[in-house]
Amino acid sequence: MRKRFNTTGVCIPHKHFMVNIDNKIDEVEKMVFRGEYFIINRPRQYGKTTILSELSKRLQKKYLVIRSSFEGIGDTIFENEQIFSSKILSIFSKTLRFTNKEKASELEKLGKNLKSLEEVSEGITEFVMNSDKEVILFIDEVDKSSNNQLFLSFLGVLRNKFLLKEQGLDYTFHSVILAGVYDVKNLKLKLRPKEEKKYNSPWNIAVNFEVDMNFKPVEIETMLKQYVQETGISMDTETIANKLYYYTSGYPFLVSRLCQIIDEKLLKEHEKEWTENHVVEAVKLILKENNTLFDDLVKNLENNRELYEQVYYITVKGDIRVFNILNPIINLGVIYGIFKEEDNKVYIHNRIYEQIIYNYMISKTESKGDISRYNFRDNFIKYNNELDFEKILLKYQQFMKEQYSDKDSKFIEREGRLLFLAFIKPIINGIGFDFKEVQISQEKRLDVVVTYDKYKYVAELKIWHGEEYHKKGLKQLCDYLEIQGLNKGYLVIYDFNKGKKFKSDRVVVEGKEIFMIWV
C-alpha cells in the first residue's frame, strides 16, 4: 500500500508523504540539549504533534523521554489536589511503558497514594535521581487543562524544581516541552464565574520558541519529490511548491490538504503529471469545504468582536496595522493563525484564509436590495467563456444606483467592497475565485484579482479624493497591471460628493486600458 497525504492526526513517515522537517527538529533538539523549558504554541493543525513524535524518536537514543497528552483525560483529575496528585505520575507512565516498561512501572509505583503536589515533587525527584539518563517530559494538548488552577499549580511545582536544580538543590526533568495553541507563559483565564479575569505566569522560566513551523517552498518540494519517486507521477516540483506556498504561506494543514485534493480528487486515471492548474482547481475545492480548521477560524472571529473588527479593517478596508505582538488583539490573531507579520505590518496569514474570511463576511452582508435580479451569470459570459467584465461593472453600477443611492454614505463606505464582492461572487462561483491584493497608498487602494477559467481580471476599488489622487491611482494601477502581465484593468470609484453622477469612462495610461465606473 503506497503512502498518502495526511491531514488528520500525526504524520507517520512510512505511511504518509511528509515534508522533510529535519531542520526544524534540529533546532528544537538544540533547545532540549541546553536543558530549556519551552512551549510549542501554534494554531490548530500546525504540525505540533508530528514535531513531538519525530523529536521523541530522535531523543530516545540519548534521553529517557516521557510523552504525554492532556487530550481526553477528563475533568475528574482536576477535582482536588489529592486526586490530581494520585494520578498525574500514572498518566506520565502510560506512554513510557511502550519504550521502557521497567521505568514506566517504577514511575507508576512512585505515583501511587500521593496526596499533595509536594509529594508529587518528591516523586519526580526520586525518579530522576534513579535514572541513568536525563529525563525529558513532553505534554501535548496542554491548553485543554490550562484554565484549571491545579494544572497551573503543577506548572509552578515544575518551575520551582527547575530553579532549584539550577542551584544544585534538586533533581528534576532536564527539559520540559509543552505543546498547545496558547502560550501558558501569559495565560488569560477565569477560574470561577465571579472572578475577575487575570493574567497568570506559572511558566515564566520558559524560553521563547522561535522555530518557524511554516513550510518554505524548498521544504514543500521535499514532499513532492517523495510523491514523484513513489508514484511515477511527474511534475515541476519547484513550480508546484511555489504555487502551493503562494496560496498557503506554508500553513502545514493547507499545504497537505491541497496535495491530498489533487491526488485523490482531481488527478484523472490517465493523467501522469501535476500542473499549476491542478493547484488552482484544488484551491477552488478547498474553499467549498467545511472542515474543522475553517470552523475554528470563523468561531474565533465570532467569539471575539475586537478581533473580528481588526480583521475586517485589514481585509475589507485595506487599513494598515503596525505589528506589535504586545497588542492583545494582534497577539490573539497570531495565536489563532489568522495574522502574520511582514515588514512590521499585520497581514492575514495566507490567501486561502483571506478568501474564507471574505466569503464569510460576504455571507453576513445584509443587502436590502434584490441582488439576484442583476447578477445572473449567463448574462456576463462571452462565447469563449471569458467574462464580460465591463458589463459586470455597468450592471453593478445600476444595482447601486437603484438599490443604494439613498443609503447613508458611512454604510456604503464601510460595506462597499463587500457589496461588490457579493455582487460578483455568484457570477464566478464554481469556475473562478477572487483574491484581494492589498496595495496601500493614500487612497487605501484594494485590488481585487478575479480569475475565471484561464482569464484574469484586476478591479481596483477606491474612494474619490479628487483629481490629483485619481491620477496617482491610475498610475499605480497601471504598475500593478504590468506586474500581473495584463493590458486592461477596471476601476470602481465610490463617490460620496453631493450631485455625483453614475457615469463610466475609458482611458489609456502608459499603454494600459482602464475602464471606470462611478457609484
Q: How many Å apart are CA 263 and CA 6, to the nearest integer?
A: 11
**CB of 119 within 8 A of CB of 84?**
no
- Maximum CA pair distance of the chain? 86
- Give the Cβ contact number of residue 420 at 10 Å: 24
Say whether 217-286 and 22-200 share the same fold.
no
Q: What's the pLDDT score for residue 338? A: 96
Closest CA to 516 of 504, 502, 501: 504
* Domain chopping of the chain, boundaries: 22-200, 217-286, 291-364, 365-519
DSSP secondary structure, 252-320, as one string: HHHHHHHHHHIIIII--TT--B--HHHHHHHHHHHTT---HHHHHHHHHHHT-HHHHHHHHHHHTS---
* Rounded-to-integer distance, Cα 348 and Cα 246, Å: 13
Distance CA 119, CA 111 (A): 9
Q: What is the CATH number of domain 217-286?
A: 1.10.8
Residue type, 450: V
CB crowding 313-331: b at 16 or more within 10 Å, else e = ebbbebeebebeeeeebbe
pLDDT of residue 366: 53
pLDDT in tens, the chain (519 residues): 789 999 988 889 899 999 999 999 999 999 999 999 999 988 888 988 899 999 999 999 899 999 998 877 777 888 889 999 999 999 999 989 999 999 999 999 999 989 999 999 999 999 999 999 999 999 988 876 655 778 888 989 999 999 999 999 999 999 999 988 776 655 544 344 444 444 456 688 889 899 999 999 999 999 999 999 999 999 999 999 999 999 999 999 999 999 999 999 999 888 899 999 999 999 989 998 989 999 999 999 999 999 999 999 888 877 889 999 999 999 999 999 999 999 999 999 999 999 899 889 888 775 545 777 787 778 888 888 888 999 999 999 998 888 887 777 777 777 788 888 888 888 887 666 666 554 434 344 557 888 887 888 998 888 888 888 888 888 888 988 888 889 999 999 988 887 778 999 999 999 999 999 998
Distances (CA, A) of 176 to 92, 173, 263: 13, 7, 39
The second-level CATH assignment, the architecture, of 22-200 is 3-Layer(aba) Sandwich (3.40)
- Cβ(252)–Cβ(214) under 8 Å? yes
Amino acid making up residue 90: S
The alpha carbons of the chain give a radius of gyration, in whole angstroms, of 28
Give residue 191's pLDDT. 42
**What confidence score (pLDDT) does residue 383 get?**
80
Could you identify the residue written with the cell 475528574?
A: 76
* Pick from 336, 300, 42, 328: nearest CA to 199: 328
17, 11 in Cβ contact below 8 A? no
Residue 134: strand pairing partners: none
Q: H or E stretch including 496?
A: none
Q: What is the pTM of this model?
A: 0.85
Sign of the torsion formed by the C-alpha atoms of 15, 16, 20 and 23: negative
Q: How far is CA 330 from the centre of its chain?
A: 14
Can you give the pLDDT at residue 177? 94
- d(Cα 146, Cα 73) in Å, to the nearest integer? 13
pLDDT recorded at residue 185 = 59
Q: What is the DSSP string of 120-179?
A: HHHHHHHHHHT-SS-EEEEEESGGGSTT-HHHHHHHHHHHHHHHHHHTTS----SEEEEE
